[in-house]
Chains A and B, each alone.
Chain A
Amino acid sequence: MSEYLILIYGDESASANADVEGANILMKGHQEFGERNAAALRGGNALQPTATATSVRQNASGGFVVTDGAFAETKEALGGYYLVEAADLDEALALAKQVPMPAGGVEVRPIRTFD
């Protein structure tokens, strides 16, 4: 078995503008996803919007530059993730397709292991 990180990307303005009903449907979707795939799930979280992000970069003189905002400004921002266990990429993709993604999509990345 291998582990994969499913990164959930979405348009933040769309979810910020969603009404209570929309938010509830999304929440319920994630709950159902979690229940249906409990055996494969190794972890997962939702993230606060990129407006709350702080980026830290190292500068040439060995110090740090701390800036407001996400590392890269993109239309679709990372909004949450699941860590799953799967036999192969096809199994991981089958899980990924069940993740609620109302305003974007997901990226599936294999977890690197060190021997």
Chain B
Amino acid sequence: MLAATVRVTGDIDLAEECVQDAYARALTSWGVGGVPQKPGAWLTVVARRRAIDLARRDSVRERTLPLLVEPVAAELGDSDAPEIIDDRLRLIFTCCHPAIGTDAQVALTLRLLCGLTTAEVARAFLVSESTMAARITRAKKKIAMARIPFRVPPVAELPSRIDTVLTVVHVLFSTGHTAPAGADLIRRDLVERSLDLARVLRTLLPDDADVAGLLALILLTDARRPSRLGDDGHLVLLPDQDRTRWDRAAIGEGIALVREALARRPPGRFALMAAIAAVHAQASTWEATDWTEIVGIYDLLVDMWPSPVVALNRAVAVGLAEGPAAGLAALDVLGDEPLLATYSYLAAARADFLRQLGRSSDARMAYEEALLLSENAVEREFLLDRLAQLDS
């Protein structure tokens, strides 16, 4: 909705105001006449009409008038209609313009394209809310002041622009896969949106290994969704998931894409991450997983992408391949990493290895630390369960 409105206003702040205004009107109008058949489309049309009204009234915005000739009536279609996806694509390329700082690109996309609150974006980035608010404001100002265009770049520029966009789509997926805060573990809307975008990017760049890799990664990871939540709404970790419930069609499509992406040299980081997901997808049980293969892929990945979070995942894989003591040693190396200091997974992974080693009191402290750091209700529930098991 925001993406469609930005196309009219050419101004993100103004578009955000119009969207909020549309929600306010919905409260009144839907209360009287009932909820319309396509609430999303209704809101988009109202927000865009508001944008046009404002633009007409405001002589300062005369220069944006050419943008207003786009037909509004056509927008009443399905929210997944091609033109809506095109708007999202334009917005994502705008947010990921090289003239915007790397840190701000992903943050801006999450805020504007996915409607995450500033607090949620801050958590995903492991920074404070005020830092994130300043970063987003600065980026929005730059888009407006420097007139960063709202469009998908020409084909010749796509290869140099795609990497950031892929990173953002990946963060988008990860954020939806495990929501950083709130009552639900999964934010279906974000996952769907990232999948749509990855598919559109694949049609834009059919020969790009990283695009294929990212699409594969999303498909293979999301294929596990039916088994990630127990009947009581609790988080079910990979070892305990019912693998017969995994989406075999998505896995088949994902594995074909991984093969294609790995055939290109050097394999990109998303292709490697997808390859890890493919190893899981092909194992009939947790015990049957080829952990040595997974550690081998992580070794390549850490070389290519020295991110502390990747190093953390590698350390966990080492523990599974070589036992909890080796895993704990690999995690301890990461203890000084400032970016991980507020990351609940590091504490949770340590806690699990300590529990397996029978060091109950150390494990308890680590679980408690993880609890302090996690704001996702389902994840917290899981950690509390583990704590209770230690006591029994």
List chain A positions with a Cβ less than 8 A from chain B. 2, 87-90, 93, 108, 110, 112, 115
Contact = CB atoms under 8 A, between A and B. Distances in A.
Interface of B is mostly: loop
Given A88-B149, A112-B145, A115-B60, 15 more contacts: A2-B147, A87-B147, A88-B147, A88-B148, A89-B97, A89-B99, A89-B146, A89-B147, A89-B148, A89-B149, A90-B148, A90-B149, A93-B99, A108-B146, A110-B146
Contacts of A110: 145-147
A90 B60 CA distance: 22
Nearest to A2: B147
Interface of A is mostly: mixed
18 contacts: A2-B147, A87-B147, A87-B149, A88-B147, A88-B148, A89-B97, A89-B99, A89-B147, A89-B148, A89-B149, A90-B148, A90-B149, A90-B153, A93-B99, A108-B146, A110-B145, A112-B145, A115-B60
Interface of B: 60, 97, 99, 145-149, 153
A77 to B, nearest CB: 23
Query: Which of A2, A87, A89, A115 gathers most chain B CB within 10 Å?
Result: A89
Contacts of B153: 90
A90 B148 CA distance: 7
Contacts of B145: 110, 112
A16 to B, nearest CB: 32
A108 B99 CA distance: 10
Contacts of B148: 88-90
Nearest to B148: A89
Query: Which of B97, B145, B147 gathers most chain A CB within 10 Å?
Result: B147
Contacts of B60: 115
A38 to B, nearest CB: 22
Contacts of A2: 147
A45 B138 CA distance: 31
B175 to A, nearest CB: 28
B387 to A, nearest CB: 52
Nearest to A1: B63
Query: Which of B145, B146, B148, B149 gathers most chain A CB within 10 Å?
Result: B146
A93 B98 CA distance: 11
Nearest to B154: A90
A27 B153 CA distance: 32
Contacts of A112: 145
A115 B58 CA distance: 12
Nearest to A94: B157
List the 7 closest A-B pairs by CB distance, nearest first: A88-B149, A88-B147, A110-B146, A89-B146, A89-B148, A115-B60, A90-B149
Nearest to B98: A93
A76 B149 CA distance: 30
Contacts of A108: 146
B146 to A, nearest CB: 5
A2 B149 CA distance: 12
A113 to B, nearest CB: 9
